[in-house]
Structure 1
Amino acid sequence: MDSITLQQSIKHPFNLLKFTFVIVPIVAGLDKFTNLLTDWTQYINPAFLEMLPFSGSTFMMIVGIIEIIAGVIVLIKTELGGYIVAAWLTLIALTLLGEFNFIDVAVRDFVMAISAFSMGRFAKFIS
Protein backbone atom coordinates (compact mmCIF):
# COMPACT_ATOMS: atom_id res chain seq x y z
CA MET A 1 0.00 0.00 0.00
CA ASP A 2 1.52 3.33 -1.02
CA SER A 3 1.51 6.36 1.28
CA ILE A 4 -1.30 8.16 -0.60
CA THR A 5 -3.59 5.13 -0.32
CA LEU A 6 -2.65 4.80 3.36
CA GLN A 7 -3.49 8.45 3.98
CA GLN A 8 -6.85 8.08 2.26
CA SER A 9 -7.75 4.93 4.18
CA ILE A 10 -7.01 6.38 7.61
CA LYS A 11 -8.25 9.94 7.02
CA HIS A 12 -11.86 9.38 8.18
CA PRO A 13 -11.03 7.33 11.31
CA PHE A 14 -8.31 9.85 12.13
CA ASN A 15 -10.72 12.78 11.80
CA LEU A 16 -13.26 10.98 13.99
CA LEU A 17 -10.63 10.39 16.67
CA LYS A 18 -9.41 13.98 16.41
CA PHE A 19 -12.95 15.37 16.73
CA THR A 20 -13.54 13.11 19.74
CA PHE A 21 -10.32 14.08 21.51
CA VAL A 22 -10.91 17.78 20.94
CA ILE A 23 -14.55 17.82 22.11
CA VAL A 24 -14.55 15.28 24.97
CA PRO A 25 -11.64 16.75 26.98
CA ILE A 26 -13.01 20.28 26.55
CA VAL A 27 -16.55 19.26 27.59
CA ALA A 28 -15.26 17.17 30.52
CA GLY A 29 -12.93 20.01 31.52
CA LEU A 30 -15.73 22.58 31.47
CA ASP A 31 -17.94 20.24 33.47
CA LYS A 32 -15.37 20.20 36.27
CA PHE A 33 -16.68 23.73 37.01
CA THR A 34 -20.40 22.88 36.87
CA ASN A 35 -20.70 19.16 37.77
CA LEU A 36 -23.68 18.83 35.43
CA LEU A 37 -22.55 15.43 34.11
CA THR A 38 -21.39 14.01 37.44
CA ASP A 39 -19.83 14.92 40.77
CA TRP A 40 -16.22 14.59 39.65
CA THR A 41 -14.83 14.65 43.18
CA GLN A 42 -16.17 11.12 43.74
CA TYR A 43 -13.42 9.84 41.43
CA ILE A 44 -10.56 11.22 43.51
CA ASN A 45 -8.72 8.47 45.34
CA PRO A 46 -9.29 9.20 49.09
CA ALA A 47 -5.60 8.64 49.88
CA PHE A 48 -4.67 11.19 47.23
CA LEU A 49 -7.36 13.60 48.43
CA GLU A 50 -5.85 13.59 51.92
CA MET A 51 -2.51 14.74 50.49
CA LEU A 52 -3.99 17.74 48.67
CA PRO A 53 -3.47 21.17 50.25
CA PHE A 54 -6.92 22.24 48.95
CA SER A 55 -10.39 20.83 48.45
CA GLY A 56 -11.30 18.12 45.98
CA SER A 57 -13.46 20.64 44.15
CA THR A 58 -10.50 22.97 43.64
CA PHE A 59 -8.39 20.04 42.46
CA MET A 60 -11.02 19.08 39.90
CA MET A 61 -11.13 22.66 38.59
CA ILE A 62 -7.35 22.44 38.03
CA VAL A 63 -7.93 19.11 36.28
CA GLY A 64 -10.60 20.80 34.17
CA ILE A 65 -8.20 23.50 33.01
CA ILE A 66 -5.64 20.86 32.06
CA GLU A 67 -8.28 18.92 30.10
CA ILE A 68 -9.42 22.02 28.22
CA ILE A 69 -5.81 22.83 27.29
CA ALA A 70 -5.26 19.21 26.17
CA GLY A 71 -8.31 19.40 23.88
CA VAL A 72 -7.03 22.62 22.33
CA ILE A 73 -3.58 21.08 21.80
CA VAL A 74 -5.20 18.14 19.98
CA LEU A 75 -6.90 20.66 17.68
CA ILE A 76 -3.71 22.61 16.95
CA LYS A 77 -0.95 19.96 17.16
CA THR A 78 -2.75 16.65 16.88
CA GLU A 79 0.23 14.34 17.20
CA LEU A 80 1.52 16.00 20.36
CA GLY A 81 -2.02 16.36 21.72
CA GLY A 82 -2.69 12.67 21.17
CA TYR A 83 0.32 11.72 23.24
CA ILE A 84 -0.60 14.21 25.98
CA VAL A 85 -4.20 12.97 26.17
CA ALA A 86 -2.99 9.34 26.16
CA ALA A 87 -0.62 10.02 29.06
CA TRP A 88 -3.29 11.98 30.94
CA LEU A 89 -5.90 9.23 30.57
CA THR A 90 -3.37 6.60 31.62
CA LEU A 91 -2.60 8.57 34.80
CA ILE A 92 -6.30 8.92 35.55
CA ALA A 93 -6.83 5.19 35.01
CA LEU A 94 -3.94 4.32 37.31
CA THR A 95 -5.34 6.48 40.11
CA LEU A 96 -8.77 4.89 39.64
CA LEU A 97 -7.33 1.39 40.05
CA GLY A 98 -6.81 2.16 43.73
CA GLU A 99 -10.58 2.40 44.08
CA PHE A 100 -12.31 -0.93 43.49
CA ASN A 101 -15.57 0.89 42.79
CA PHE A 102 -14.13 2.46 39.63
CA ILE A 103 -12.24 -0.35 37.91
CA ASP A 104 -14.71 -0.20 35.01
CA VAL A 105 -13.98 3.50 34.56
CA ALA A 106 -10.23 2.81 34.75
CA VAL A 107 -10.52 0.20 31.98
CA ARG A 108 -12.54 2.65 29.87
CA ASP A 109 -9.87 5.33 30.38
CA PHE A 110 -7.10 2.88 29.38
CA VAL A 111 -9.01 2.10 26.17
CA MET A 112 -9.44 5.82 25.48
CA ALA A 113 -5.71 6.31 26.14
CA ILE A 114 -4.90 3.69 23.51
CA SER A 115 -7.24 5.47 21.08
CA ALA A 116 -5.61 8.85 21.77
CA PHE A 117 -2.14 7.35 21.32
CA SER A 118 -3.26 5.78 18.03
CA MET A 119 -4.60 9.13 16.85
CA GLY A 120 -1.25 10.71 17.65
CA ARG A 121 0.54 8.05 15.62
CA PHE A 122 -1.90 8.44 12.71
CA ALA A 123 -1.24 12.18 12.69
CA LYS A 124 2.22 11.47 11.21
CA PHE A 125 0.55 10.09 8.07
CA ILE A 126 -2.11 12.76 7.62
CA SER A 127 -0.96 16.03 6.04
Structure 2
Amino acid sequence: MNSNLELVKNVLKYTFGLVPIVAGLDKFTNLLTDWSQYVSDGFAGMLPLEAGTFMMIVGIIEIVAGILVLTKTRIGAYVVAGWLVAIALTLILSWSYVDVAVRDIVMAIAAFSLAKLSEMTPIKARN
Protein backbone atom coordinates (compact mmCIF):
# COMPACT_ATOMS: atom_id res chain seq x y z
CA MET A 1 0.00 0.00 0.00
CA ASN A 2 1.18 3.51 -0.75
CA SER A 3 3.02 4.92 2.32
CA ASN A 4 0.54 7.80 2.72
CA LEU A 5 -2.41 5.41 2.65
CA GLU A 6 -0.66 3.14 5.13
CA LEU A 7 -0.02 6.12 7.42
CA VAL A 8 -3.67 7.21 7.30
CA LYS A 9 -4.83 3.64 7.90
CA ASN A 10 -2.54 3.28 10.94
CA VAL A 11 -3.54 6.65 12.42
CA LEU A 12 -7.21 5.69 12.10
CA LYS A 13 -6.58 2.17 13.38
CA TYR A 14 -4.88 3.33 16.58
CA THR A 15 -7.38 6.17 17.05
CA PHE A 16 -10.40 3.88 16.75
CA GLY A 17 -8.64 1.16 18.72
CA LEU A 18 -7.36 3.17 21.67
CA VAL A 19 -10.06 5.85 22.09
CA PRO A 20 -12.92 3.34 22.58
CA ILE A 21 -10.78 1.41 25.06
CA VAL A 22 -10.03 4.58 27.07
CA ALA A 23 -13.66 5.77 26.89
CA GLY A 24 -14.86 2.29 27.85
CA LEU A 25 -12.55 2.13 30.86
CA ASP A 26 -13.69 5.60 31.90
CA LYS A 27 -17.29 4.34 32.11
CA PHE A 28 -16.11 2.67 35.35
CA THR A 29 -14.31 5.71 36.82
CA ASN A 30 -16.10 8.76 35.34
CA LEU A 31 -12.83 10.69 35.36
CA LEU A 32 -13.44 12.30 31.96
CA THR A 33 -17.14 12.97 32.52
CA ASP A 34 -20.24 11.60 34.22
CA TRP A 35 -21.28 9.29 31.40
CA SER A 36 -24.75 8.63 32.78
CA GLN A 37 -25.71 12.22 31.85
CA TYR A 38 -25.84 11.08 28.23
CA VAL A 39 -28.67 8.64 28.95
CA SER A 40 -31.92 10.49 28.31
CA ASP A 41 -34.56 10.45 31.03
CA GLY A 42 -36.98 8.62 28.73
CA PHE A 43 -34.46 5.91 27.90
CA ALA A 44 -33.30 5.64 31.51
CA GLY A 45 -36.92 5.03 32.52
CA MET A 46 -37.08 2.02 30.20
CA LEU A 47 -33.89 0.45 31.56
CA PRO A 48 -34.19 -2.36 34.12
CA LEU A 49 -31.04 -1.01 35.81
CA GLU A 50 -29.51 2.31 36.79
CA ALA A 51 -28.00 4.57 34.11
CA GLY A 52 -24.51 4.21 35.66
CA THR A 53 -24.70 0.42 35.47
CA PHE A 54 -25.95 0.63 31.89
CA MET A 55 -22.98 2.83 31.02
CA MET A 56 -20.61 0.23 32.50
CA ILE A 57 -22.09 -2.34 30.09
CA VAL A 58 -21.59 0.21 27.30
CA GLY A 59 -17.98 0.54 28.50
CA ILE A 60 -17.40 -3.20 28.14
CA ILE A 61 -18.80 -3.09 24.60
CA GLU A 62 -16.51 -0.15 23.75
CA ILE A 63 -13.45 -1.92 25.14
CA VAL A 64 -14.22 -5.02 23.07
CA ALA A 65 -14.82 -2.87 19.97
CA GLY A 66 -11.47 -1.11 20.45
CA ILE A 67 -9.63 -4.41 20.86
CA LEU A 68 -11.40 -5.70 17.74
CA VAL A 69 -10.16 -2.68 15.75
CA LEU A 70 -6.59 -3.35 16.89
CA THR A 71 -6.73 -7.09 16.12
CA LYS A 72 -9.23 -7.45 13.24
CA THR A 73 -9.24 -3.92 11.87
CA ARG A 74 -11.76 -4.25 9.04
CA ILE A 75 -14.44 -5.96 11.13
CA GLY A 76 -13.72 -3.80 14.17
CA ALA A 77 -13.96 -0.60 12.15
CA TYR A 78 -17.41 -1.58 10.88
CA VAL A 79 -18.48 -2.40 14.46
CA VAL A 80 -17.23 0.97 15.72
CA ALA A 81 -18.90 2.81 12.82
CA GLY A 82 -22.21 1.10 13.57
CA TRP A 83 -21.86 1.72 17.29
CA LEU A 84 -21.22 5.43 16.72
CA VAL A 85 -24.25 5.73 14.44
CA ALA A 86 -26.39 3.99 17.08
CA ILE A 87 -25.18 6.44 19.74
CA ALA A 88 -25.83 9.40 17.43
CA LEU A 89 -29.34 8.20 16.61
CA THR A 90 -30.14 7.76 20.31
CA LEU A 91 -28.99 11.30 21.02
CA ILE A 92 -30.87 12.74 18.04
CA LEU A 93 -34.10 10.92 18.93
CA SER A 94 -33.96 12.29 22.47
CA TRP A 95 -32.87 15.69 21.09
CA SER A 96 -30.14 15.94 23.68
CA TYR A 97 -26.45 16.51 23.06
CA VAL A 98 -27.08 16.96 19.34
CA ASP A 99 -23.57 18.41 19.01
CA VAL A 100 -22.17 15.11 20.29
CA ALA A 101 -24.43 13.25 17.85
CA VAL A 102 -23.02 15.23 14.92
CA ARG A 103 -19.46 14.54 16.11
CA ASP A 104 -20.25 10.82 16.42
CA ILE A 105 -21.62 10.73 12.86
CA VAL A 106 -18.38 12.30 11.61
CA MET A 107 -16.36 9.75 13.59
CA ALA A 108 -18.55 6.95 12.19
CA ILE A 109 -17.67 8.11 8.67
CA ALA A 110 -13.97 8.02 9.60
CA ALA A 111 -14.34 4.51 11.08
CA PHE A 112 -16.14 3.41 7.90
CA SER A 113 -13.26 4.89 5.91
CA LEU A 114 -10.83 2.80 7.98
CA ALA A 115 -12.86 -0.32 7.19
CA LYS A 116 -12.73 0.45 3.48
CA LEU A 117 -8.97 1.16 3.63
CA SER A 118 -8.51 -2.16 5.41
CA GLU A 119 -10.16 -3.97 2.51
CA MET A 120 -7.53 -2.69 0.07
CA THR A 121 -4.84 -5.12 -0.90
CA PRO A 122 -1.29 -3.81 -0.52
CA ILE A 123 0.13 -2.33 -3.70
CA LYS A 124 3.79 -3.02 -4.35
CA ALA A 125 5.88 0.12 -4.56
CA ARG A 126 6.72 1.14 -8.10
CA ASN A 127 10.13 2.48 -9.02
Length-normalised TM-score, structure 2: 0.91
Aligned partner of 2:72 in structure 1 is 77
CA distance in 2, matches of 1:55, 1:20: 30
Structure 1 residue identity aligned to 2:79: I
Superposition map of 1:15-26 within 5 A: 15-26=10-21
Superposition map of 1:1-127 within 5 A: 4=1, 7-125=2-120
Structure 1, gaps ≥5 residues long: none
Structure 2 residue identity aligned to 1:19: Y
- Runs (4+) of structure 1 moved beyond 2 Å? 98-101
Question: How many residues get paired?
Answer: 122
Higher helix share: 1
Query: What's the C-alpha RMSD, in Å, of the aligned pairs?
Result: 1.2
Structure 2, gaps ≥5 residues long: 123-127
CA distance in 1, matches of 2:121, 2:26: 31
CA distance in 1, matches of 2:121, 2:28: 35
Identity %: 57
Length-normalised TM-score, structure 1: 0.91
